Chain A
Amino acid sequence: MMVVALGFALGALLVGYLVRPRRPYPEKLTPYESGNPPVGEPRWRFSVKFYIIAMLFVLFDVEAVYLYPWAVVLERIGLYAFVEMMLFILILLVGFIYAWRKDAFVWD
């Protein structure tokens, strides 16, 4: 099974490599930037507002992970598990509403 899967993946890449045309020219090799020629450095100091978005993503991602074992055992534990997860989400909803009210999702 492993050999077939590996063979198929590598075989497909190899066939593509052998069959596809290769006609590079300078314009084709430049990084794509919506059709415009790239100007200046690609990396500069990003604004800290990106950091808030990433931080909130991490936190709500952790919340989502708790839903995975919960969904698996919900049938077995029943209403009890349902109520406690609603409480869990409710507490985090307070954080969500706080973030919303403080314009954490607004791009200023």
Chain B
Amino acid sequence: MSPGAFAYLGGMVLACAALAISRRNPVHSVLWVLVMFFHLAAIYLLLGAEFLAAVQVIIYAGAILVLFLFAIMVLNIRQEEMGPRFSGGWPLALALVLALAVMLLGAWGSLRLPEAGPFGPELLAQKGGHTKALGEVLYTTYLLPFELASLVLLVAIIGAIVLAKKRLK
């Protein structure tokens, strides 16, 4: 990825995130998060992780944000919009964030990258891309977790209906 592309995409991600938490109208916040998700997807795409980019767009931008919008619509947020966007605790929050930043910068010197795993760029290129490499492992070695994922989804489907259905048959 070229530095210019990363500078644009990374900058947009940060700017959209800042806009999302500072907008007073929650619907506007969700729309800024949507713009942020698309820029994140572009970063994944430029890093050669096209499956992750697809998940970012299909699941996060397509489904999770729709859920956020519905949650906003279901809640009564008129009062929320009337009050100030940030409560009085922000100096404390700022101090905590700065402390975390100092800690992370302090830890930067002792950062050691781990040994590269088997799925390096060469193997991915040989397999014909990130999605193919992932699919080959997911549907053979990790067959059981994959099938268990369907059970997790099944539980979530039943749970959603039981919790939110007004008149359950």
Contact = CB atoms under 8 A, between A and B. Distances in A.
A22 interface: no
Given A57-B66, A66-B149, A88-B146, A73 B132 contact: yes
Nearest to A69: B135
A59 interface: yes
A85 B157 CA distance: 19
A27 interface: no
Contact of B153 (A43, A62, A77, A84): A62
Interface string B124-146: 00000001101110111001001
A101 B63 contact: no
- Determine chain A's interface SS by DSSP, over half rule: helix
A32 B76 CA distance: 25
B58 interface: yes
B73 A50 contact: yes
What range describes how many residues of A lie at the interface? 35 or more
A64 B58 contact: yes
Contacts of B67: 54-55, 57-58
Contacts, number: 137
What range describes how many residues of B lie at the interface? 35 or more
A8 to B, nearest CB: 19
B102 interface: no
Contacts of A91: 147, 150-151, 154
A14 to B, nearest CB: 21
Contacts of B135: 69-70, 72-73, 77
Given A55-B164, A102-B169, A69 B131 contact: yes
A51 B70 contact: yes
Contact of A59 (B136, B140, B157, B166): B157
25 contacts: A45-B74, A48-B164, A50-B73, A51-B74, A52-B161, A55-B67, A56-B160, A61-B63, A62-B59, A62-B63, A63-B153, A68-B51, A68-B131, A69-B51, A70-B135, A72-B132, A73-B136, A77-B140, A87-B150, A88-B150, A91-B150, A95-B154, A103-B165, A104-B161, A108-B166
Interface of B: 51, 54-55, 58-59, 62-64, 66-67, 69-71, 73-76, 131-132, 134-136, 138-140, 143, 146-147, 149-151, 153-154, 156-158, 160-161, 164-169
Interface of A: 43, 45-59, 61-66, 68-70, 72-73, 76-77, 80-81, 84-85, 87-89, 91-92, 94-96, 98-99, 101-104, 108
